[in-house]
Chain A
Amino acid sequence: MLKLEGVFGGYGGATVLRDVSFSAAAAEVTCVMGRNGVGKTTLMRAIMGLVRAEKGSIQLDRLEIANLPAHEVPRHGIGYVPQGRRLFGPLTVAENLEIGLMTRGRGHAVRESVLDLFPRLRERLGQVSATLSGGEQQMLAIARALCLEPKLLLLDEPTEGLQPSMIAAIRDVVVGLKAAGVAVVLVEQRVEAVLGMADRVAFMDHGQVVETVARQGLDAKSPLFRQYVGV
């Protein structure tokens, strides 16, 4: 599904990603872990074309997307839930969803199926999204990305700052997407959340994916978490 090989990238003159190779498969949840500043968010942004890959290859279903303009990347079926949600705050819930639907020309039926996943949003369609609670904003950020009907979903720290019930709801959605065949790449810092969702865990350090481990090979006391995440 998604394959990165030898990707270098960064901001201005600063290289953040150094020779990153990484893959994600359909119907799998791949978690990306690492300390702050190792390049997890930059990796997500590079896949989306928001950070230009200076070298290397990014392929989605064997289609090279590294050189596409950023606005064409999501049209190939990549949904993105950015860190900090980055909703269109002054726009209503319905308008945020409409932006998601427009990306790949999806219509009413897709919106209804997404709202079935997040019934609380259905009650707040006319509400300005900046006035939602933190958990509702995260739901909307995920719902907006699902309006693309993505085959690959990138989630950047979706559980950050949320209460346990909301984290459980997001986990249920991720598990449901995996069952539906969607490839999920999840940047996450919470070990228990990773162990509850991941099929594979990629550890990042100094701008590289240094180790990728199957979920079966990990438990909460694994030294890899201490070594690369510091917990």
Chain B
Amino acid sequence: MEGLVKAAVLALTAVGLSLVFGVMRVVNVAHGAFFMLGAVLAWTVAQYVPGDPMFGWFAALLIAPAIVAAIAATADTFVLKRLNYDPEATIVATIGLLYILEQAALSLFGPDAKPVPAPFNIRLQLPWFGYSGYKIFVVFAAVAVLLAVWWFMTRTRAGLVMRATQVDRQTARAFGINVDRVYAGVFALGAGLAAIAAVLLVPISQAHYLMGGDPLLLSFIVVIIGGLGSLRGTLVAALIIGLSDGVISMFWSPTLAKIIATAAVAMVLVFRPQGLFGARA
């Protein structure tokens, strides 16, 4: 179950990163900071909603990703667009954005880990051992969000416009597509997905201003193994890395899990640099 939860949350986070790279060709180093921001905002929203923790958590699920997406869209408009989405310059810019967001979170929310109560505490008791009902919910919720993303990208006009822009932004402009608006939307969507993942995870792991490092590292591992820009590859790699990370961390050590994941990335970079499902450049 630990592995499945990890894989589900990782898939959501990594799909956001992969989407941003696939459509915009931007390596978003601030992606982990958007994840962290989702978690601390979830804690903040939960503080202000009285009554049953379920209300606070569901309010956080709606509000935190929306705020994070708005911050991302603003960052796109005022930072990335001005750099003309130059690949090298945007890497430096998103590193800067990562530090700004982390320091802002430290200043506003403090250095302590913030617990967010789970919306419900149900235990699914089986003869051999029990499962947390919330963790099962996280897996199903992540699958539902991923299906919604797939539906959005393949069945809606907005998704079609994003895919066309991903293929050729110049030709997209020649067919009336406002590429700047698409980029702002994609950057917001990618950050929003990271924030949703964080809101799902925060009742299990608490919110902290430095919590974005691990999801960022694992997301990069996943998109490199899956193939940069390939959503299918991202999902498969998230399942492999998430499950192995969860199982190895549980039965051996988290450090060993990271070593194995990093070794897997090295193998992919040596033998199949375009990733498992990526197109050769």
Residues of A within 8 A of B (CB): 48-50, 69-75, 80, 82, 86, 88-91, 95, 98-100, 102-104, 144, 148
Q: Check B174–A74 contact: CB distance below 8 A.
A: yes
Q: CB of B148 within 8 A of chain A?
A: no
Q: CB of B164 within 8 A of chain A?
A: yes
Q: Which residues of B contact A104 (CB under 8 A)?
A: 176
Q: Which residues of A contact B70 (CB under 8 A)?
A: none
From 147 to 190 in chain B, residues with beta carbon under 8 angstroms from any chain A beta carbon are: 157, 160-161, 163-164, 167-168, 170-179
Alpha-carbon separation in the docked complex, A50 to B167 (Å): 16
Q: Which residues of B contact A102 (CB under 8 A)?
A: 157, 161, 175-176
A-B contact count (CB 8 A): 61
Q: Check A86–B171 contact: CB distance below 8 A.
A: yes
Q: Which residues of A contact B173 (CB under 8 A)?
A: 48-50, 70-71
Q: Taking CB as reference atom, which chain B residue is nearest A129?
A: B167
Q: Taking CB as reference atom, which chain A residue is nearest B154?
A: A95
Distance in Å: Cβ of A79 to nearest Cβ of chain B: 9
Distance in Å: Cβ of A153 to nearest Cβ of chain B: 12
Known: A50-B174, A74-B174, A98-B160. A90 touches B179 (CB 8 A): no
Number of interface residues of B (CB under 8 A): 17
The one of B157, B171, B178, B179 that contacts A88, using a Cβ cutoff of 8 Å = B171
Q: Which residues of B contact A91 (CB under 8 A)?
A: 160, 163-164, 167
Distance in Å: Cβ of B83 to nearest Cβ of chain A: 16
Given contact pairs A80-B174, A86-B171, enumerate 14 new A-B contacts (beta carbons under 8 Å).
A50-B170, A71-B178, A74-B175, A82-B171, A88-B163, A88-B164, A88-B168, A88-B171, A91-B167, A99-B172, A100-B175, A102-B157, A102-B175, A144-B175
Distance in Å: Cβ of B218 to nearest Cβ of chain A: 27
Q: Check B174–A75 contact: CB distance below 8 A.
A: no
Q: Which residues of A contact B177 (CB under 8 A)?
A: 71, 99
Q: Which residue of B168, B171, B176 has the most chain A CB atoms within 10 A of its CB atom? A: B176
Distance in Å: Cβ of B164 to nearest Cβ of chain A: 5
Alpha-carbon separation in the docked complex, A98 to B177 (Å): 12
Q: Check A89–B174 contact: CB distance below 8 A.
A: no
Alpha-carbon separation in the docked complex, A154 to B177 (Å): 18
Q: Which residues of A contact B161 (CB under 8 A)?
A: 99, 102
Q: Taking CB as reference atom, which chain A residue is nearest B163?
A: A91
Q: Which residues of A contact B160 (CB under 8 A)?
A: 91, 95, 98-99
Alpha-carbon separation in the docked complex, A102 to B171 (Å): 14
Alpha-carbon separation in the docked complex, A99 to B164 (Å): 8
Q: Check B179–A71 contact: CB distance below 8 A.
A: yes
Q: Check A48–B164 contact: CB distance below 8 A.
A: no
Q: Which residues of A contact B163 (CB under 8 A)?
A: 88, 90-91, 95
Known: A95-B160, A99-B160, A102-B157. A89 touches B167 (CB 8 A): yes
The one of A70, A86, A95, A98 that contacts B168, using a Cβ cutoff of 8 Å = A86
Q: Which residues of B contact A71 (CB under 8 A)?
A: 173, 176-179
Q: Which residues of B contact A98 (CB under 8 A)?
A: 157, 160
